[in-house]
């Protein structure tokens, strides 16, 4: 029976959970996730866990925060004067905003606190600092890339 290996194109169904069991993402009910093993498209622990899986095999993996989206980085949390926001904006905790870096890249940030003179924004990945677990089922192995 064929097993998934480095450079194979694979399709998997998955359900991602936080350490408290809350589901944060799932492919169930949608198309399976397709990726090339070893391409770096996904967090390494996820890609690595598919190596050696057989077609229709299922497994549950646990990925510590440091091997997933990394720790929360304090330098990614900043206070912004409200005067730098558009006049008509009413920021709320949890709101996602788009910020532009000095080199022109767009970055999604989340409002963490709203004060009279400042808001606090967080540019960390929403799953930074969190241990993750995934239920994975390998549904297809396609021809490897050359």
Q: What domains does the chain contain, in order, with CATH numbers?
A: 9-69+127-142 (3.10.50.40), 74-122 (2.40.10.330)
pLDDT tens sequence across 7-52: 999 999 999 999 999 999 999 999 999 999 999 999 988 999 999 9
Residue with tokens 């991602």: 16
Provide the terminal-to-terminal Cα distance of the chain, rounded to the nearest Å: 21
pLDDT tens sequence across 97-125: 998 888 888 989 999 999 999 999 999 99
Identify the DSSP state of 44. Answer: H
Residue 7's region, left for phi above 0, alpha for psi from -120 to 50, else beta, is left
Q: What is the pTM of this model?
A: 0.80
Contacts with 12 (C-beta within 8 Å, 6 or more apart), sequence order:
27, 32, 33, 50, 136, 137, 138, 139
Question: pLDDT-derived band of residue 136, with 50, 70 and 90 as boundaries?
Answer: very high
């Amino acid at each position: 029976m064929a097993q998934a290996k480095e450079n194979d194109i694979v399709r998997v169904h998955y359900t991602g959970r936080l350490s408290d069991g809350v589901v944060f993402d799932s492919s169930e009910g949608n198309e399976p996730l397709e990726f090339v093993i070893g391409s770096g498209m996904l967090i390494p622990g996820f890609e690595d866990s598919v190596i050696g899986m057989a077609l229709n095999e299922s497994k549950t993996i646990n990925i510590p925060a440091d091997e997933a989206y990394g720790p929360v980085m304090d330098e990614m949390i900043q206070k912004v004067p409200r005067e730098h926001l558009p006049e008509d904006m009413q920021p709320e905790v949890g709101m996602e905003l788009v910020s532009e870096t000095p080199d022109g890249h767009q970055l999604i940030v989340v409002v963490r606190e709203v004060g009279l003179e400042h808001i606090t924004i967080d540019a960390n990945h929403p799953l930074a600092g969190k241990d993750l677990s995934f239920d994975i089922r390998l549904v297809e192995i396609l021809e490897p890339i050359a």
